[in-house]
Amino acid sequence: MRVFFVGNGGEIQWCFSQVKGTVEEDVTEADIISCVEYNDDGELLATGDKGGRVVIFQRDQSGKSNLHHCRGEYNVYSTFQSHEPEFDYLKSLEIEEKINKIRWLKRANPAHFLLSTNDKTVKLWKVSERDRRPEGYNLKDDSGLMRDPTSITTLRVPVFKPMELMVEASPRRVFANAHTYHINSISVNSDQETYMSADDLRINLWHLEITDQSFNIVDIKPANMEELTEVITAAEFHPSECSLFVYSSSKGTVRLCDMRSQALCDKHAKMFEEPEDPSNRSFFSEIISSISDVKFSHNGRYMITRDYLSVKVWDLQMDTKPIETYQVHEYLRSKLCALYENDCIFDKFECSWSGNDRHIMTGSYNNFFRMFDRESKRDVTLEASRDNMKPKQVLKARKVCTAGKRKKDEISVDCLDFSKKILHTAWHPVENVIAVAATNNLYLFQSKD
C-alpha cells in the first residue's frame, strides 16, 4: 500500500466513481433501494430494494485498473428475487417484499453467503460460481439426450471443461414465522454460527443451521399493550465479543446486553442514554431522539447512534453520555412541524464508520450526505448527483443556509427536496470507498488519493 503525504492531515477528498440505476421522472417504487451492504473484504456490494430483489456488485478483479491508479470498478455479479409479497391471512395484512436488511457472512469457502430479510422472514442465500461443467458422459450425449446403450462400444471418463462463468444464487435456509412484528434488524454473531433478528418488541437468536427453532432473547412487550411506551429500533452484535449485543429504542436509549448473564436478556448490562432536562422537552423531543441506527466501531470499543438530527459516538465504557455529538442538519429543527406533517420526521437514517473508525458518514435530504472526521473535527456536506460525474474531480462541499442572506452556491432550507433522502449508506470495510443509495440510484465514491 502506497502512502502519500498530501499535507491535509489524512482528510479525505471525495471523488465520483460510478452511478448505477436509471434516470426516471416517475421512479418505480420497486426500484427504490432499501439497503446497501459491503461484504467483509469489500469485494462484493449488495443492495436490496422495495421489490424484494437483491443485486450484488463485484469489484473488477482484472487488475487493469491498477494501471490507471484507480481502484477497480463494481459491476453486476448476481441478481435474484429474494422475497415476494405475501398475504397474512390471519390478519388480512399485506407483507411487503421490501428487503429491510442484508448482512454477509464471513467467507468460509468459495461460495458467498448472505442473510436478507423483509418484515417477517429471514433467508440465507448462497451465491456460488460455476465455471466448469462435466462433459463426456457415456449414457448422455453432449446435448443431454440419452444415448442408446446398445450403441455404446467404448467407455470414456467424463471430464470438467471450462465454461462461461455463471453465478448462481440459491436459498439455503428460510427462517420464518418467528416474528409477530416487523423485523428491523439482523446481525451475524462473530461466531459466524448464530445471528439475531429484531422486530419492534422482540429479539430472537437463531442458529444458521436450524430453521424451525429460535430463542427469544429480548422481549419488551408489556402484558397490557396500553402500557407500551417504546419499541426496539435497531440491534447489533459486538464485532468480536460473541456474547454482547446492543439494541436501540424509540426513546433514544441503547441497551447493552450480555447473553452469559441469563437466557432472557430483558435486564440490560448497561444502558446508554444522554440525560435531558425534562423541562426542555417538547412534543418533538421523543420523536427526534428515537434512534434509527446503531453501529459498533470496527475495534469494538465505540458505537454510533443516529437520531433524527445528530450522530453520537459512545464509549462502551461510559454510559452516562456520548463522547462526541455531530449535528447532521440542525437547520431542520425550525422545520419540525412541517416535517411531522409530511412524515419525514419518522425517516430512518443509517450511519457508517470508516474502516479505521476515524470517519463517520450519514445521509440527509436533497440527496445530501454528511461526513464527519473525528480527528480533525471537520465535517462536510456532499451531494449524490449526476451533475458531478467527472472522475478524479473532488466533490464540491454543499451548504445549506437558514437566514435570509443566501450566498452563491448555497441552498436555502426551504428549497431542500425532502423526497430525495439518503437513508442507506455503506463504507468499504478497509478502503475509503463508499456506496450511497439515492432513491433508485446507487452512487459510488472514492477518495482522491
Q: Cα–Cα distance between 268 and 88 in angstroms, integer? A: 33
Binding segment toward other proteins, per CB under 8 A, in 102-110, 165-173, 265-273, 324-332: 324-332
447 binds other proteins (CB under 8 A): no
Q: With binding defined as CB under 8 A, does residue 374 bind other proteins?
A: no
Does position 418 interact with other proteins (CB under 8 A)? The reply is: no
Residue number with CB closer to other proteins (303 or 373): 373
- By DSSP bridging, strand 433-438 and strand 44-49 are unpaired
Residues 211-270 that bind other proteins (CB under 8 A): 225-231, 250
Contact residue for other proteins among 341, 343, 387, 414 (CB under 8 A) = 341
298 binds other proteins (CB under 8 A): no
CB contact at 8 A, 212 and 178: no
Q: Does 89 bind other proteins (CB under 8 A)?
A: yes
Of 16-24, 108-116, 159-167, 258-266, the window that binds other proteins (rule: CB under 8 A) is: 16-24
Q: Looking only at residues 147 through 186 of this chain, which bind other proteins when binding is defined by CB under 8 A?
A: 181-182
Stretch that binds other proteins, among 148-156, 210-218, 393-401, 420-428 (CB under 8 A): 393-401
In angstroms, rounded to a whole number, what is the distance separating the alpha carbons of residues 37 and 58?
12
Name 27's Cβ contacts closer than 8 Å, sequence gap at least 6: 439, 440
CA 105: distance to chain centroid? 14
Q: CB 230 → other proteins: shortest distance, Å? A: 7
Name the minimum Å distance from CB 106 to other proteins.
25
Q: Closest Cα to residue 172, out of 102, 124, 112, 110?
A: 124
Shortest CB 120 distance to other proteins, Å: 10
Backbone angles phi, psi at 308, to 5 degrees: -60, -40
Q: State how far the Cα of 81 lies from the Cα of 30, in Å rounded to an integer.
A: 12
Instruction: For residues 192 and 441, give the distance between their C-alpha atoms in angstroms, rounded to a whole number.
Output: 31
CB of 178 to other proteins, least distance (A): 16
**Taking Cα atoms as reference points, which of 23, 35, 90, 14 lies closest to residue 431?**
14
CB of 226 to other proteins, least distance (A): 5
Residues 112-151 that bind other proteins (CB under 8 A): 119
Query: Which residues lie across from 325 on neighbouring strands?
Result: 312
Nearest-angstrom CA–CA distance, 396 and 211: 49
The only residue of 37, 49, 319, 383 in contact with other proteins, by rule CB under 8 A = 49
Residue 333 or 420 having the CB closest to other proteins: 333
70 binds other proteins (CB under 8 A): no
- The alpha helices in 42-167, defined as continuous H runs, are none
